[in-house]
Structure 1
């Protein structure tokens, strides 16, 4: 049954030890389970806990007796079950722990095993099998014995197997018992060795074969079921499993895991046989192992917390603690390698036997470089303060070398060594028979980091502090550059196709043939960073170590794979790498570890993001994909997780809110707090992202519609506008009504005033017209008396035309300026006839005035012209001159009329008037003044009349100037 090719603990997988310092709630665990959502559940001495990748949550209730719980199980509904030593059974639903049943009366303080099948809880006590309905909690005893004879139950596709006294039974899903085998041999062993019969029988399966084991006097005895005789027959027990306490047997990935007090022993199934493969945590009491959805291996222990193996194909070499900080690494052959430490120790490791030899040299300074000379089977060793040879066969340190503190030792032929030093690089040729140096040749005196010798081309390469230098066969110097820029190399290796690969401090990796760059790898085409700390070739592929991971470049496919701490890499401080047939060995500050070249790379499922809490306006709410929120619910907090081991270390969260690109949250931040959101539609997208390989989870979408406050919504604004409109309407209506009433009063008053004014104007015109007629008739009478018939006839004709004009204008309130000028022209021509051509007049109109469009009050100018003739020019004998000028005024919509005469002046005219008739009052003057007052009534712009006496320097009268400011309208 059990096959052991060899047994060794030379290598162990890299594991992460979780204790109470890491937030683990306990160190004593009895069971562990991953549920369908990716949560890890722990049954511990301090109770039931759930891990979500970041935090541990405790589950308890008031009816629970004690703290400890055992035996975790997930049913078809996703409920998590457990039990305690007090006989209580619990389940977790809706994130709360519920007590299902208490059967302490049946258990008598013993811990029961149980199975859940077909809506029933099947409890296996030492003396009874009890069926409890999950629907109504009704109980039924299926089997009952007088002694503690019932063993551990074991699930098979058709039911549950268990031992009851001397018989192996199967309980099918209809809860009927059928006999499977006779267990008399097991009972006889118990009896013959006086074993305590309370030990339970454990059942497990290998292929189609059933196996049983029982602990008899602290020794594990294995049995197998004979299909022919249907009896248990004793079989061989693996030495590693004989005396340990076995707590469980679990099948995972076609392998059987025996969880024991001496670790987890793994056996691989091969042709119905078990082949020993590996032991994990040999110094721990392992109680359960779980492989989670990310292929992490969780191992709980009874006394020392939990261990997590993130990659079982990356293993540590079990070195002494004193040699953990490895500074140099060199391959000897396919079965061994050498290493050096910062303390100066030299180690030899045999991969076949896992034997380690630590050789103490005379130097205690750091080993800076190792190089193996296959011709003489000697290991060349350079310390910071010394350099010498080590004979691999004898293990004896030999003669000293010149390469003290060398950064690199390069075998350049059978007897020639290239020493790359901190201050210079040089060739050393030795006569190994005489053990002495033949010659030394310095290549460069610059600080250098690495060297390489191409055996095919016989070219030598040295990476100095400022250049990569190629030396041809004749040691002629050629600088290797990339686009004219020096290459600052750090390490060098060569693939099987002859390409030299140079790692750099900040520019990635260059592939060089001769002295030309033919390939270049950087962050632009797959490297995680451009600073490469170590490089090694593997056929035509490359292994590259950086401070963010170890990468494999497959030059055939052009793909790049990456291993990070998330994948089990224990450290990024890599000091060297060597390649073997199926694995790669890496030296680091935490020791030496190996990577399985084929199996270490495996895809992990994408992280799945889910919401742990949603708060709206600081109140917890249920998750929904869409929310319609009031205006005062504009603060939203989202808490989320991705169930993955140490998610805070390797997962970051990204979101975008009504944007085109995602925004990354800080490391460890697993919530989003949106405050003071304005009204509108918000579409939020969230996703989880792996920090190391940029893989992202499916997006979680949530939309928020935040309403406007009611006072900003259209219906409220419309209502307010309507109310305002109504108020304005009624207010305006009242104002209009009031104004209409006032306007009616004003209109009536204006009508009365206009009627009165019109009557007065008509009356004045009727008075003025006879006065003018009287004067004109006097002139005609004078012509007749003087027997001047022609003049009288001519005068009478013109007078008739003028009277017709006046009659036509007498009914109008205003006439055009042209009509006024025409009347003045006719009037002055009559006056000129009366004065027998001793009157000279002129009427001038400014070109800026449109005489045909401008309207002025009727007969406004004529009375002033008449006064100028009657009072000023009449008393002058000769050269009577009258000038009338119409021009624009400075005031808006006003014209100015100037009437200028060269008469005797107002003073002389007054004296003549007083001498003739002192008591006479001029009707024309009074009528003109009254008419002017009526015209100016209710006008914004008044008609103004200004009279100026014209005099010479001796104060003699030269005439009179009358200026009339006349408002007009078009």
Structure 2
């Protein structure tokens, strides 16, 4: 599992140096090159460590016992040389560099720097000599980089060396850490050097105590300290740097022995990503040996415990690497059935599960999810937050609760006591607080209640078979107030209801009609949201209705009146025939671009309204679970949406979920005659 180094070659293959051979990955399969004692054209040994590619496409590999290998992909053969040392028997090769004149430079673990003549097999060797101030500063070579002037910059475990191989006089110019000079190296132990891809004459130097930037033209150094508030071992150290631009901001990724670091240069912000035991989307280990970014944008991460890879285009959901600003550990809800989400006026996030109520709590400046002890065993079905320090909580079997989270006072309210004898009154499927300080409560089987929180007055509605203006069904699953202050009620079996306060309160019904393309697609209504997008015109109200048989769009001719006729409403709907992965639309949330994110019974679906297309996401995209809950979704901000499933909470940035436009080249990996591989001669 020990992966020491990795590269991507010109054909697109990924190469990984490991303790058990050289691995090549073509995007589908791994091919492992190991030593075969009976084949002189095989690799010298299996303990591969350093790796690079030359301009002709050959792969150069250094091993831990001092062999330099050259793999010719055309002939599928290895040639190798033993790099002898007078200092150590094994002479581990730590770094390989092919310069602009095709010279092969070799860095070693304890024997300094070598230059190989591949025609004769002879080497030149430079080492540290205590009595020679012009010699190499240290015999441990961690990295070799060539600048635009032809200079070699050599990182060691005791300073940085500049070497011009074109000069007849061998002279290493050395640079060291100076505690009295803030413009010197940040530490003498150099783990890695990377040439900047965005700025000319700039090198990133990863040291045991932070990053150092070197201008190779002016020879000026500047330091960047690495925050390590948790005092992690090796927490101040850095290695190789990979640059990229994310959302117009300069970002670098850095490997270390204390996880992987992301440094937002634009914001001067560091974020550290560590291996998390219970998070399958975290790093495989905190010891990150090296990182690269391939041509499709994927980061590949070599660790002492295997390989990790990360891409905002592949692992789209629940990837902490995409969310440096995510302040709450949402992974704590893993395997819990997340049924309700609300955010109170003080910014607290409340999450209802089948195993109690959770909330975000500020501890020493950090936000953590904490379980609310008084409701620790309750099955939470619904939540709504007001603006007076109150949270209303609907449960499965225990009724309705009110929590004043400022005073921590919890009160149970039995609204239907004395009205409904059935224990069904304790199954509160939906709660909603409107703009007039009314609390609406939807029950599983016993209708709808409205509690005036100012007066305490309660009004109840049940379905009446002989009253066409009554509630259409007694299973009330969702309640919503639109921008015109109209109250909409979704039922399980009776379709959609619009409440009319006039004439003592009556309900207009919108339901499924067999054979009609202008009715709702189902009478089971799970979720309701209003579009805030202006794409539909200012004279219309658009409601999106999630049902058991597709997504419905209600276009309502705009009127400030709460009384609208059936002719004012136009209904269209979408099903699996239009691209949905499943017709059961449990939850809906709209992003800042007016697109809809749907929690279904078979994953998460994006409805791009500008293109009128559906894109479906599943566990292969990082989605936790496949079955989602009714109305259990929430937009925390423009960059973070959360959706509850039956086995956890999903979070994602809707702005960073896109399909890759990268098209890899077609490469032949084998040639067979009668099912036998044929090698080129």
TM-score (norm 2): 0.73
Residue 168 (structure 1) aligned with residue 161 (structure 2): yes
The alpha-carbon deviation at position 564 of structure 1 amounts to: 4.5
Residue 545 (structure 1) aligned with residue 599 (structure 2): yes
- Give distance in 2, aligned partners of 1:517 and 1:585: 30
Which residue number corresponds to residue 147 of structure 2? Answer: 156
Q: 1:534 to 1:346 in 2, by over 3 A?
A: same
- Give distance in 2, aligned partners of 1:455 and 1:225: 57
Which residue number corresponds to residue 92 of structure 2? Answer: 111
Which residue number corresponds to residue 269 of structure 1? Answer: 265
Whether contact under 8 Å (2:519, 2:571) holds in the other structure is no
- Give distance in 2, aligned partners of 1:444 and 1:478: 7
Which residue number corresponds to residue 461 of structure 1? Answer: 489
Q: 1:557 to 1:392 in 2, by over 3 A?
A: farther
- Give distance in 2, aligned partners of 1:204 and 1:227: 12
Within-5 A mapping of 1:288-687? 288-302=290-304, 304-311=305-312, 314=317, 315=319, 318-319=329-330, 321=332, 324-325=335-336, 326-333=338-345, 335-348=347-360, 353-362=366-375, 364-374=377-387, 376-386=388-398, 387-402=400-415, 404-432=426-454, 436=456, 438-442=458-462, 443-454=471-482, 456=484, 458-473=486-501, 474-481=505-512, 482-483=516-517, 487-488=522-523, 489-496=525-532, 498-513=541-556, 515=566, 516-538=569-591, 540-555=594-609, 558=612, 560=614, 563-575=617-629, 576-579=632-635, 580-606=637-663, 611-613=668-670, 615=672, 617-620=674-677
The alpha-carbon deviation at position 70 of structure 1 amounts to: 0.5
- Give distance in 2, aligned partners of 1:166 and 1:330: 55
Larger radius of gyration: 1
Classify the secondary structure of the residue corresponding to 1:498. strand
Whether contact under 8 Å (1:44, 1:69) holds in the other structure is yes
- Give distance in 2, aligned partners of 1:143 and 1:458: 82
- Give distance in 2, aligned partners of 1:563 and 1:205: 37
Q: 1:577 to 1:107 in 2, by over 3 A?
A: farther
Q: Which structure is richer in relative contact order (CA contacts within 8 A, separation 6 or more)?
A: 2
CA deviations on 1:251-281 (whole Å, 9 max, x unpaired) are 23153333122101111334xx954245354
Residue 59 (structure 1) aligned with residue 59 (structure 2): no
Q: 1:536 to 1:185 in 2, by over 3 A?
A: closer
Q: 1:176 to 1:360 in 2, by over 3 A?
A: farther
Which residue number corresponds to residue 71 of structure 2? Answer: 92
Which residue number corresponds to residue 47 of structure 1? Answer: 21
- Give distance in 2, aligned partners of 1:166 and 1:468: 73
Q: 1:244 aligns with which of 207, 231, 234?
A: 234
Whether contact under 8 Å (2:549, 2:575) holds in the other structure is no
Classify the secondary structure of the residue corresponding to 1:361. helix
Residue 123 (structure 1) aligned with residue 99 (structure 2): no
Whether contact under 8 Å (1:86, 1:104) holds in the other structure is no
The alpha-carbon deviation at position 59 of structure 1 amounts to: 0.5
Q: 1:144 to 1:477 in 2, by over 3 A?
A: closer
Q: Which moved more, 1:261-270 or 1:525-534?
A: 525-534
The number of aligned residues is 578
Q: 1:479 to 1:592 in 2, by over 3 A?
A: closer
Q: 1:397 to 1:36 in 2, by over 3 A?
A: farther
Whether contact under 8 Å (1:181, 1:225) holds in the other structure is no
Classify the secondary structure of the residue corresponding to 2:85. helix
The alpha-carbon deviation at position 171 of structure 1 amounts to: 3.4
Q: 1:569 to 1:349 in 2, by over 3 A?
A: farther
CA deviations on 1:355-411 (whole Å, 9 max, x unpaired) are 33321234624211112223x332211121222012233343233354632222222
Structure 1 spans left out of the alignment, 5+ residues: 1-26, 190-194, 624-970
- Give distance in 1, aligned partners of 2:626 and 2:222: 53
Whether contact under 8 Å (2:191, 2:239) holds in the other structure is no
The alpha-carbon deviation at position 234 of structure 1 amounts to: 7.4
The alpha-carbon deviation at position 170 of structure 1 amounts to: 3.5
Whether contact under 8 Å (1:450, 1:490) holds in the other structure is yes
Q: 1:528 to 1:213 in 2, by over 3 A?
A: closer
Structure 2 spans left out of the alignment, 5+ residues: 38-42, 131-136, 182-186, 245-249, 277-284, 321-327, 416-424, 463-470, 533-539, 557-563
- Give distance in 2, aligned partners of 1:457 and 1:177: 85
Which residue number corresponds to residue 143 of structure 1? Answer: 126
CA deviations on 1:68-97 (whole Å, 9 max, x unpaired) are 211221222323322111110123334845
Question: What RMSD over aligned residues (CA atoms) do the two structures have, in Å?
Answer: 3.9
TM-score (norm 1): 0.53
Which residue number corresponds to residue 682 of structure 1? Answer: none
The alpha-carbon deviation at position 56 of structure 1 amounts to: 2.7
Q: Which has the higher helix share?
A: 1
